[in-house]
Amino acid sequence: MKISDRKTIRKYKATDVDKTLIHGLLGTASRAATMGNMQLYSVIETRSEEGKAALAPLHFNQPMVTGAPVVLTFVADFRRFTRWCDLSDANAGYDNLLSFLNAATDTLLFCQNFCTLAEEAGLGTCFLGTTVYNPKGVISALQLPMLTFPVATITVGWPNEDPMQPDRLDIETLIHEETYNDADDDTIRQIYAYKESLEENRNFVEINHKQNLAQVFTDCRYTRKDNEAMSKGLLEALHLQGFM
Amino acid sequence: MKISDRKTIRKYKATDVDKTLIHGLLGTASRAATMGNMQLYSVIETRSEEGKAALAPLHFNQPMVTGAPVVLTFVADFRRFTRWCDLSDANAGYDNLLSFLNAATDTLLFCQNFCTLAEEAGLGTCFLGTTVYNPKGVISALQLPMLTFPVATITVGWPNEDPMQPDRLDIETLIHEETYNDADDDTIRQIYAYKESLEENRNFVEINHKQNLAQVFTDCRYTRKDNEAMSKGLLEALHLQGFM
């Protein structure tokens, strides 16, 4: 699957995915840009039934977690580097928010590279954003120590479905020349008009008894209440892991 | 350039890079996974001499900024989506830390996809991590409004150098089976031994009058003092942009 044809795959064949293949793809993915060539990431590879069962509820029991042969949790990791500094009599100062963001950035670039390579190799992937919804649970399940933090989870397997490619916004509306172009109201409405017109989305509005698609997002899918509670948990987890 | 051959390119030919090419690559890159298909990002395309001159000091005057035909700043953007919600009488609750992290994640996946596609098309790229070192400066230069935040800058051009590919850590040391494997001290030393042995890095130690490579990182390149000051600036910028 090329990047232009990319789609999320949530259903996988029962066939295993060879460990050598996964590790090889991860190795090539590590060619992504990385801050000062520090490679501030780790990957936890979950293949056991017990491991997947422990992760599943933390991802709201989305069936991909137990249904995929391999679950990869991508972890921002300043611990390995800091331990090397400690062993070298060097005063490491990476227990702060900037360092978290630097490590998370390294990790996400590496993660996206892995996804591209996995899809090129014929594998299907699903990106679970839920990793940062309940980081304390993931930290506990994967025994993540200080100065590490889970930022993304990818389920991987051989595709057992071929869904339609989803819509995307017109790229021209996302590109700004020289400075940010704050669109007028009509343009904003126009940007999302196609999305609102889709049968599938009109159906979401109806079954949720909402007036429009935006309300499905704000009232059902990603609510203020949930976001604020999860932001609090995220901050607590950043403290817990030594990044604040 | 394939992912396996990837290297950072800092010197570019004077030849321009066609706008249609860049926008086409960005369009394809937008096939990356995105939270709830919200596409929480924008790109600011800087081509003017004045624009580059304004950005250059914010990136510590690294010569790529004024030397590249195109500078792309990748911006986490919950503003466009929130404005659509506001126009739809929907109560958007995306002015918080989780929403920032969600948007930053979307943005970085999209950004890495763009880099892969650009390199495949023969372009050279350089990732400037300095974007989050002084976000307030970037926000001001690019006139980024509330609920937007710069997370990455990529300089792009036709390569005018062919440097050696840098070293990477053995991927097996970054992969953990089932749970985080906190390596013992000897293993940690071993992980970084090859890096320490490199001529170039031994030279860094010498010219900086340090005892070892780790001290070059902690005392010269990424110091506690700088990280703590920049973490403060980062937090202030997150407040300023409405994400805290």
Q: Hunting for tokens 């926008």 — which residue is that?
A: B23
- What is the band of B219 on the pLDDT scale with cuts at 50, 70, 90? very high
Q: What is the pLDDT of residues A119-166, one digit of tens each?
A: 999 999 999 999 999 999 999 999 999 999 999 999 999 999 999 999
**Contact flag A222-B171 (C-beta cutoff 8 Å):** no
Tokens of residue B211, six digits: 């005892």
Whole-complex ipTM: 0.98
Is B13 an interface residue toward A (CB < 8 Å)? no
For residue A35, what are the CA distances in angstroms to A94, A149, A207, B82, B131? 13, 17, 46, 32, 12
Q: Considering the domain boundaries, does residue B112 fall inside one?
A: yes
**Band (B173; pLDDT cuts 50, 70, 90):** very high
CATH number (domain holding residue A7): 3.40.109.10
Specify the pLDDT at position A181.
97
What local confidence, expressed as pLDDT, does residue A175 receive? 98
Q: Which of residues 156-195 of B touch A (CB under 8 A)?
A: 165-169, 171-172, 174-180, 182-183, 185, 188-189, 191-192, 195
Assigned domain for A216 exists: no
Res B16: pLDDT: 97
Domain-located, residue A78: yes
Q: Does A207 touch chain B (CB under 8 A)?
A: no
What pLDDT sits at residue B126?
A: 98
Q: What's the pLDDT at B109?
A: 98
Domain span at residue A29 reads 3-164
Chain A interface mutation, best of B176, B179, B198, highest count of A Cβ atoms under 10 Å: B176
Rounded mean pLDDT of chain B? 98
Q: How far apart are CA A194 and CA A209, in angstroms?
A: 20
What does the pLDDT average to over B6-19?
98
pLDDT digits over B50-89, tens only? Answer: 999 999 999 999 999 999 999 999 999 999 999 999 999 9
CB contact under 8 A, B171 and A46: no
Residue A36 confidence (pLDDT):
97
Q: Which of B71, B64, B65, B74 is CA-nearest to residue B109?
A: B74
% of chain B surpassing 90 pLDDT? 100
Question: Residue A227: which pLDDT band, with cuts at 50, 70 and 90?
Answer: very high
- Domain-located, residue B195: no
Q: Let me know if residue A48 belongs to a domain.
A: yes
User: Residues of A with CB below 8 A from B180's CB?
Assistant: 42, 44, 75, 142-145, 148
What are B129's strand-pairing partners? none
What is the C-alpha to C-alpha distance for residues B229 and A97, in angstroms, rounded to an integer?
Answer: 10
| Mean predicted lDDT score pLDDT of chain A | 98
Residues in B 103-132 with any Cβ partner in A closer than 8 A: 104-105, 108-109, 111-113, 115-117, 125-127, 129, 132
Is residue B79 situated within a structural domain?
yes
Name the residue in chain A with its Cα closest to that of B53.
Answer: A178
Give the whole-number percent of chain B exceeding pLDDT 70: 100
Residues of A in contact with B211 (CB under 8 A): 88-89
Identify whether the C-beta of residue B176 lies closer than 8 Å to the C-beta of residue A23: no
Residue B58 within a domain: yes
Burial class of residue B214 (count of CB atoms within 10 Å of its CB; 0-12, 13-18, 19+): buried
Would residue B57 count as lying in a domain? yes
Give the burial class of B49: count Cβ atoms within 10 A of its Cβ; 0-12 exposed, 13-18 middle, 19 or more buried. Answer: exposed
- Residue A110 Cα distances to A26, B56, B66, B117, B146, angstroms: 8, 26, 27, 15, 29
- Label residue B30 by pLDDT band (50, 70, 90): very high
Element (H, E) at A177: strand A175-177
Total of domains in chain A: 1
